[in-house]
A and B are shown apart, each in its own frame.
Chain A
Amino acid sequence: MKITILNGNMNPQPDVFSNYIENLVAYFDANHNINLFNLNQMDLRYCTGCWNCWWKTPGLCIHQDDGATIFSAVINADVVLFASPIMAGFTTSALKKITDRLIVLLHPYFDIINGETHHKKRYNHYPRFGVLLEKEKDTDAEDLKIISDLYERFAFNFHSEISFVKFIETSTIEEVANGTCNL
């Protein structure tokens, strides 16, 4: 199974979250192809809304940075794990920065799906999503619902599905790994 992990942890120092991710990667057996991206160590720019990727160089982003490596690993994965500590009630800006740029993998044309307007697929196959979070001091059930709803909507637009939203505080590495492989 091809698994792509987008780690949005912004802390440059080793911490509980980065240790958890390292242990998670180590837990997967050799049968799996794991692509871990520690986003804070990569050259990634913000989306500028230029839409070159839709109407100038279809499917390709204008930025000459590490984005293309991630786009390829995302679209060719079976599962993408969006991993991030929660900051100000949502996943980090480092993770949102690359998430915004995943529109390069969609087509600008519209389709009607479930009675709503959505962008058409550019590719035949889209990966399933998992979300792995670390709580901040005031995270509550309402935050979990907000984050889950927003990722469900993103998955819907991305022709994908969310298979799980888990916290590192309450899910063992084994549970997350098994959840990821059994999607």
Chain B
Amino acid sequence: MELVIYNGSPRAKKSNSKLLMDQFLQGFNPENPEATTVHYLANRKNREVYKTDYQRADTIILIFPLYCDSMPGIVKEFFEDIYNLPATGSKKIGFIVQSGFPEAIHSTYIEAYLQKLAKRLKCDYLGTIIKGGVEGIQMMPPAMTRKLFANFNLLGQVFAKEGRFDAQIQAKLRMPLKFSPLRLMVNRMLNFTGIGNFYWNINLKKNKAYQQRFDKPFGD
């Protein structure tokens, strides 16, 4: 399998997408996880290399964070680049969409676009992995990310053996799609008391910007 991975996070090597793909690659090739080509689309000066490697590869995985309910601008630029390339033999493409929203529902709307894009590119569509609640994983203690990382490792293991995303892990990662009424009530309480804003507040305070958090610099 000639696999090329594209990381579409604007944060590039500092991204949560990289943390997830590192786990995937540990599972995909435990002896040499760094052997697989990984391109960071945020480094836009290498766009020609990205196109060349896209044509060379027979299998592509693109991971990106959800930005304003769809792909980040740099990912859209990449789609425009490869859309104009001549089709080169049989190719498979799969996607991983992660977001900071705690429920997966937000990322499900881009799925139809990605499936149609695969068809446009004349690629076999391998599906889309969707995972919510990813923002903040860089700050979390290992106990809080163990399951998530184990699932991405396993996803990589199955991909190495079978060249596809495992349906069970795919379904597991997509949970929760939406919150139950009870959990929504708890979340409302957490938001109301400010506990739910802990991640934002700790960073606002660290940057001495907490008092300015409700600023409206462009009007009312």
Contacts and interface: CB of A to CB of B under 8 A. Distances in A.
B70 A96 contact: yes
- Interface of chain A, helix or strand or loop or mixed? mixed
Interface string A85-120: 001111011001101101101011111100111000
Bin chain A's interface residue count: 35 or more
A127 to B, nearest CB: 11
B43 to A, nearest CB: 12
B76 A157 contact: no
Interface in B6-58: 9-11, 15, 42, 44
A143 B188 CA distance: 36
A122 B214 contact: yes
A76 interface: yes
Interface stretch (B61-69, B122-130, B163-171): B61-69
Contact of B42 (A48, A96, A150): A48
Interface stretch (B86-94, B144-152, B153-161, B205-213): B205-213
B116 interface: yes
Interface of B: 9-11, 15, 42, 44, 65, 67-74, 76-77, 79-80, 83, 101-103, 105-106, 109-110, 112-113, 116-117, 120, 178-179, 181, 184, 187-188, 191, 196-197, 200, 203-204, 206-207, 209, 212-220
Interface of A: 46-51, 54-60, 68, 71-72, 75-76, 87-90, 92-93, 96-97, 99-100, 102-103, 105, 107-112, 115-117, 122-125, 138, 142-143, 145-146, 149-150, 153-154, 157
